[in-house]
Chain A
Amino acid sequence: MQWNRKDLLELYDLAPEEIELILDTAAEFKKVSQRRVKKVPALRGKTVVNFFVEPSTRTRVSFELAEQRLSADIVNVQASASSLLKGESLLDTIKNIEALQVDLVVMRHSAPGAQAFIARHLNCGVINAGDGAHGHPTQALLDIFTIREKLGRIKGLNVTIIGDILHSRVARSNMWGLLKLGANVTFAGPSTLVPREFEEVGVRVTNNLEEAVAGADVVNMLRIQHERQTLGFFPSTGEYSRFYGLKEETLKRMKSNVLVMHPGPINRDVELASSVADGDNSVILEQVTNGLAVRMAVLYLVAGCVKK
């Protein structure tokens, strides 16, 4: 298996072997962060632009640190500071950045497919750091990496993702990655936020929390956004929490070694009880640690295919 892409846009595009190559590579990069010197010269002389057209803290920090540990030069562009506000098109803005001899663009954007669109017009590499509700491949990779590290495999595992699936790029990218690697995927949440259409690609869809978590090896709890409430998708976060929040009692009925995950940031005691978030089954902070390793791996592999 040889990595051959200058862009990482969505896990949907990747073969299972490519996903596994990223995970294997990430395992080696994880060791780098555990060393005395937490840095390698792999991307020395390369310039990476973190272009975030949507606010983000944890993903941006994770990418930034990953780039630093690979010895890349980094430029951060925030939407508010960019010329997008002056009416320049996204493509013109990115082309101008590329003209500064940039090797990689890490982009977050609210429009699905924005990265796929610019990647078609650029020679530099493009990494999708989240495009609307469409995809967030590095988040899914770090989730899958964490599961594989903890449980030793992906194939045959029952992975349940609970929450606002409709608006979740994390759920979609996880779904593609997990299905490709042979896991059984369940989506659960209120009927307004969990489209039945996912059944058509082999996902089990349920609106019942107990049914969703029975037999699960992993539960990934998504952040519920208050703004969905004002748009009429559910009555209140209180009611959401009552029917779909993961609490101590529910956890007791689940497999004893079930992994509890969350992409963050957590609404404590809304989708996830504090005691569960901080409990023995939680791997939430390990997800963050692994995110760094996965992003280093992706940056390294993609950079290797950018010809300059």
Chain B
Amino acid sequence: MQNLLMSAAEMPDVIRQIAQEIVNAKFPDGYALVGIHEEGVPLSERIADAIEAATGARPPLAKLDISMYRDDIGKTKHLPNIRETDIPFDINDRTLILVDDVLSSGRTIRAALDAINDYGRPAMIRLAVLIDRGNPEYPIRADYVGRKIDLPAERRVTVRFEEDGNPGIFDEAWLDKHPVVKE
């Protein structure tokens, strides 16, 4: 069973709001968005579009796959396939804004921070998410949040953009494609 949390029509406004907050923060020139696979990548592109629309300048974009930094290898039935990591600029001394669709346990962001660290030493790292479901397992908080929602742990949040088909944000039962194997 799937419930609609946010319709596709509402999403552009929420993304624009995140973009505006980033603009308002007045980061030094050269700040960049780093989209985390999978849905963080299309989200980062949309935020960049909105920033460009508001300011006329488009921040550089990077893609990050955190699979190599996961803490559950061998604990899940399958590993996710590794996607392209593409950081086309030097991250040293740069401000980076990590972009992901949903902030849940915080483990993905932990992995992303580890990964970023292996590429260099940024001046500052911030986090933007579309949905903060508010049950972190790690002491990790988002700086820019599209919407906060409260959901029981057994529900998962799925974000789909137009290119994924049937766009919108949904919550559904945890019938994970990477189910955790009981030890």
One of A37-45, A151-159, A228-236 at the interface: A37-45
Q: Is A21 a contact partner of B73 (Cβ separation < 8 A)?
A: no
Nearest CB in chain A: distance from B124 CB, A: 19
Q: Is B65 a contact partner of A28 (Cβ separation < 8 A)?
A: yes
Q: Is B148 an interface residue (CB 8 A)?
A: no
CB < 8 Å: which of A2, A31, A39, A303 contacts B73? A303
Which residues of B lie under 8 Å from residue A40 when comparing CB positions? 68-69, 115, 118
Which residues of A lie under 8 Å from residue B74 when comparing CB positions? 46, 103, 303-308
CB < 8 Å: which of B65, B73, B117, B120 contacts A304? B73
Q: Is A37 a contact partner of B73 (Cβ separation < 8 A)?
A: no
Known contacts: A32-B68, A46-B74. The answer to whether A25 contacts B118 by CB under 8 A is: no
Q: Is A300 an interface residue (CB 8 A)?
A: yes
Q: Is B147 an interface residue (CB 8 A)?
A: no
Which residues of A lie under 8 Å from residue B126 when comparing CB positions? none
CA distance A70 to B76 in the complex (A): 18
CA distance A32 to B79 in the complex (A): 18
CB < 8 Å: which of B68, B78, B84, B119 contacts A41? B68
Known contacts: A4-B78, A25-B82, A304-B78. The answer to whether A42 contacts B120 by CB under 8 A is: no
Which residues of B lie under 8 Å from residue A297 when comparing CB positions? 82
Q: Is A36 an interface residue (CB 8 A)?
A: yes
Which residues of B lie under 8 Å from residue A103 when comparing CB positions? 74
Residues of chain A at interface, number, CB under 8 A? 32
Q: Is B166 an interface residue (CB 8 A)?
A: no
CB < 8 Å: which of B65, B68, B78 contacts A2? B78
Nearest CB in chain B: distance from A2 CB, A: 5
Which chain A residues in 9-49 approach chain B with CB under 8 Å? 21, 24-25, 27-29, 31-32, 35-37, 39-43, 46
Q: Is B78 a contact partner of A3 (Cβ separation < 8 A)?
A: yes
Which residues of B lie under 8 Å from residue A24 when comparing CB positions? 81-82
Known contacts: A35-B118, A40-B118, A307-B181. The answer to whether A25 contacts B81 by CB under 8 A is: yes
For the complex of A and B, 10 pairs with smallest distance between CB atoms: A304-B79, A40-B68, A37-B118, A42-B68, A28-B82, A2-B78, A25-B82, A304-B73, A306-B74, A308-B74
Give me the interface of B with A, judged by CB distance under 8 Å. 65, 67-70, 73-74, 76, 78-79, 81-85, 114-115, 117-120, 181
Give me the interface of A with B, judged by CB distance under 8 Å. 1-4, 21, 24-25, 27-29, 31-32, 35-37, 39-43, 46, 70, 103, 297, 300-301, 303-308
- 21 residue pairs of the A-B complex, CB under 8 angstroms, read A2-B81, A3-B78, A4-B78, A21-B81, A25-B81, A25-B82, A28-B65, A32-B68, A37-B118, A42-B68, A42-B70, A42-B73, A46-B74, A297-B82, A304-B73, A304-B79, A305-B78, A305-B79, A307-B74, A307-B181, A308-B74
